[in-house]
Amino acid sequence: MKKFVLFFFFLICWAGLASTAQAQYASPCELFGKVYEVKNPKFAQFLVYEEEYESSADVVVYEEDNWLYCTKPGLWHFVDNIEQSNFTVAFVEDRSLAHFTVYFTDTESFAGCNRR
């Protein structure tokens, strides 16, 4: 009985460690919702470069006024508190440092992923 309990305990610990050791990365085409802009790139989940042209951006972003309407990729609502955010971004000056590029549009229907 003691061996069974030890084996069961080992199995639970192993399963817990295995699940926390995996890296989590979200595609930029899956990002929507509440965003917090971090000034220091070291503390951001994603480094973003703002493109000048829509055709060269990975994601076309529309800044939504109400976070409840951010239900598809490219619809972002910027929040003032990091605890309220779904993910954090830092805007970088050098495109080679960015995880992906964005273009901000004024038309909600243009928002979405440009990656093919």
Structure tokens at 90: 């830092």
* Residue 54, pLDDT score: 94
* Residue 114, pLDDT score: 87
Whole-prediction pTM value? 0.76
Q: Is the pLDDT of residue 38 over 80?
A: yes
- Which amino acid appears at position 27 of this protein? S
* Residue 15, pLDDT score: 53
Per-residue DSSP letter, 9? H
Q: How many CB atoms lie within 10 A of CB 2?
A: 6
Q: Measured between alpha carbons, how far is residue 4 from residues 1, 10, 12 in Å?
A: 5, 10, 12
Q: How confident is the model at residue 72 (pLDDT cuts 50, 70, 90)?
A: very high
CA distance 91 to 81: 17
